[in-house]
Amino acid sequence: NMYAISMRSADSVSCKDVGKRSCAYGIPGHIIDGSDPVEVYNAVKKAAGHARDGRGPSLIEAKTYRFYGHHPNDPAEYREKEEVEYYTSEKDPVANFKSRLLEEKIITEEGIERIESGKSI
């Protein structure tokens, strides 16, 4: 989610992509967009199939963003305003997936409203 308790994860590890560490263990590694539910599903499905086939574990690094501080009393002042605005407006997984489902005509606005209100579809 890009952050440790109060600092960027990139500033605390030498390897930008943790998923690349998989090669050191001889296992497949996948670096994915953790804010895309379909990409997450596909990566987990592939890794689970790999394991079920008896070929061992996989490493999935799902790049995502934590929208709030590390705990309720963390004002997250260590984040730049522009960064927060970008991720909340462009990379919100719920809003983006909702738009995708509507664009692909998988669900209607009425269906979305029923889900959001707690009613069944």
Total tally of structural domains belonging to the chain? 2
Instruction: For residue 54, give the 3-state DSSP assignment.
Output: coil
pLDDT score, position 17: 84
User: Under a CB-based contact definition with an 8 Å cutoff, are residues 60 and 50 in contact?
Assistant: no
pTM score of the predicted model: 0.79
pLDDT score, position 85: 93
- The 10s digit of each residue's pLDDT in 15-71 is 778 888 899 999 999 999 999 999 999 999 999 999 999 999 999 999 998 888 888
- Are residue 33 and residue 71 in the same domain, yes or no? yes
pLDDT higher than threshold 70 for residue 6: no
Q: Is 16 exposed, middle or buried (0-12, 13-18, 19+ CB in 10 A)?
A: exposed
Domain that holds residue 70: 9-78
* 85 within some domain: no
Average pLDDT on 101-105 reads: 97
* 84 within some domain: no
